[in-house]
Every structure is written in C-alpha cells, then in structure tokens.
Amino acid sequence: MISIGIIGGTGYTGKWLVDFCSNHPFIEEINVYGKESAGKFLLDIFPELNNEVENAQIKSISELSFDQDVYFIALPHGESLKYVPTLYNAGKIIIDLGGDYRLNNSVEYEQWYNYKHTSPELLNEKIYGLADYFQAYDQDKRIIANPGCYPTAILLAALPIVENFSENIQTISVSAYSGTSGAGKSVKQELMMSEMFGNVRAYKLNKHQHQPEILQQLRSAGLNSPFSFATHLLPVSTGIYATSFIHLINNVSEGEIKEIYKAQYENSMFVRLRKDPPKLNHVANTNYCDINISVKDKVVIITSAIDNLVKGAAGQAVQNLNKYYGWDETMSIKKYGVGVV
C-alpha cells in the first residue's frame, strides 16, 4: 500500500486524479494540496464526487508534507520547478503532469515555454511516460514526465510508422484540435461559451509548446523528415482530435502498415484500432486512444482521438503509476479492453 500527494488537485485534471486515486486498491491515503483552495473541502469544489471520494480538507502547498510515497503535480507550466527538486532529493516518486520535465534540453525548454529551467540536471533523470508505447520503466528514475495531450494523441498514432518506415517518409504534418478545458480553469475571454459556440479557430501556430515534445520523440524514433503541427480550438469542453498526414517516398500497402500497428498495440489495454475514423464521443471520459489508418498511393492518413483530461493527463498519470509499480495498468482507471472495433 502507498500514500499519494496531489499538488494542484482542484483543477480539471486534479478532479480526475482524486477520483482515480480514491478508487485505487493499493492507495491507502491521499493528501490534496492547493493554493487559493487551501482550507476548503473537496466536495465543496467537486460536489459531483459525493459518495465517490472522502471529503478531505485541502492542505496548503506552503505546508507541503514529505510523508507521501508518490506525488502527482498538476500545476501550470513553470510551477513544478518549485517542487520537483525538493521532492526528488527527499527520495519521492514524482509524476509531473506539466511540461517542465518533458524535454531533454533546458535551452529548448526555455525557448518554447519562456521560463528558465532551474533544475536541468534532472531532465536526464526522468521517464517519458507514454504509457502505451514504452515498455519497462527504469525503477532507478523517480521522475515520470507525463506526456502532453496533443503529444499523446499524435505520438501513439505516428510512432509505429516512423519506427518502421523512417527512411521512406517524405514529410509528416499534423492538424490537431482540442477542447477548451486544455487551457485549465483560468477565465479567458476567448474561451467563453459566447466566443467559442459554433466556432473553430487555429492558435499558437508554429509556437505551440507541445511541438518540440512531439518532435523530440519522433526524432528519437528515427524521423529525419520535415514535420509541421497546427493546433485548433473546438467548441467542446474536452477532447483531442489529431489527423496526421504522412507522405511516403515509395508505396506501402495498407495491410502491411495495419499489421505493424496491430503488433505494436496488441498488449495495450487502452489503444483501440478502429475500422473507421474515431469520434470524440467514443473516448470522452475514458483513458482510450482510438486510431484509424487510411492509405492511398503514397499518402497515409492516421486519425486519433483521446480525452485530453483523462488519456492526455490524469488517466495516463495513474496508468504510469500502475506501470511503475508493476501493477495492472487498468487499475482504478475504470475502462479497459482492446481490439479492433
């Protein structure tokens, strides 16, 4: 049995972490830490969790205890830097849902995130937690960098073809769409219902902070070709939908590509290979990533869909916890199963 600390447990992803951890058979204690919410009770903030979680009082981050075994950090970019080094030096296991430890290079981090990285020596001490793709985790590394929502949807879709056909890839371009909850709970005019209803718009073109994270993993898999990435907002609360366009130098049959994906994900509990392009409502409130592959001549189009708050954040974080300890990866995440549907 282990104890858990959730730092920043009152945001959108924090709610899912509280829910998942409260239903985990190997977690005996949960402490939630907040700033403005300190002193309040969980069910005052999340009344929908009544009868699902214990109505514990939220503790102040300024009084962070080092008594827990594992700490989830669900804070805005730049904030994890204040806590990870101290927790790491205290011997704790850290699962960071933010972007502060995902990149391997502190200079690149500073260019894309506009924060100075204050613990670059820890970037090599992390596990990049793309749970459905990477197998065994190094137990000597105690920082798990939980992937971003866009990277999760795009990398699960693109990595198998990159690893197997990198020399045959001419270009990869991705058009991806997100629900507004990806921006967190902060009030922003451009995310208001009256602004987004019936509307779609591109944002952060050529400067989205997830771009170097995606490219880092694709390069590690062997990609030497140009890559482009465009992000858009949808008039929905949750979800990520990504369409990856992969242009090949020489033809490859659809059957050959699908066999590679089937072999890659045959043991994954949360990747489903769809016969038709996925729909957001098929993955909403689940830890699934649904993928469809279409090939014509030298063009491969791969569509993928996830829930950004679950698979793109809290669900994968708990999956990483399970994976780190060698437990059943589906434990407490509630949805499970795999196959072509």
Helix/strand/coil percentages in the chain, nearest 5 = 35, 25, 40
Is residue 268 pLDDT above 60, yes or no? yes
Q: What pLDDT, on the 0 to 100 scale, is given for residue 3? A: 97
Q: In what order do the strands lie in the sheet with 93-96?
A: 59-60, 27-34, 2-7, 70-73, 93-96, 143-145, 126-128
What is 150-307's CATH topology? Dihydrodipicolinate Reductase; domain 2 (3.30.360)
Are the CB atoms for 227 and 172 separated by under 8 Å? yes
Average pLDDT over residues 154-168: 97
**pLDDT for 52:** 86
In this predicted structure, the answer to whether residue 156 has a pLDDT above a threshold of 70 is yes
Percent of the chain with pLDDT over 90: 83
Asked if pLDDT for residue 287 goes beyond 50, the answer is yes
Looking at the predicted structure, is the pLDDT value of residue 192 above 90?
no
- 78 Rama sector, left if φ>0, alpha if ψ -120 to 50, beta otherwise: left
pLDDT of 180 reads 81
**Every domain of the chain and the residues it spans:** 2-147+311-325, 150-307
pLDDT confidence tier of residue 305, bands split at 50, 70 and 90: very high
162: CB partners within 8 A, 6+ apart: 169, 172, 218, 221, 222, 223
Q: What is the mean pLDDT of residues 159-165?
A: 98
**CATH 3.40.1210.10 for domain 2-147+311-325:** no
The length of the chain is: 341
Q: Any idea which residues carry the catalytic annotation?
A: 149
Spatial contact of 123 and 103, defined as CB atoms under 8 Å apart: yes
What is the spatial distance between Cα 145 and Cα 128, in angstroms, rounded to a whole number? 5
Report the pLDDT value the prediction gives residue 336, as an integer from 0 to 100.
38
Looking at residue 188, what is its pLDDT?
62
pTM of the model: 0.94
d(CA 166, CA 176) in angstroms, rounded, equals 22
- The answer for 91, left when phi > 0, alpha when psi is -120 to 50, beta otherwise, is left
Q: Is the pLDDT of residue 191 over 70?
A: no
- pLDDT, one tens digit per residue, over 231-252 is 999 888 789 999 999 999 999 9
The mean pLDDT value for 246-271 works out to 96
42 close to 109: Cβ distance less than 8 angstroms: no
The answer to whether 278 and 253 have CB atoms below 8 angstroms apart is no
For residue 29, is pLDDT > 70? yes
Instruction: Encode pLDDT of 110-130 as tens digits.
Output: 999 999 999 999 999 999 999
Farthest CA pair distance, the chain: 62
Mean pLDDT of the chain: 92
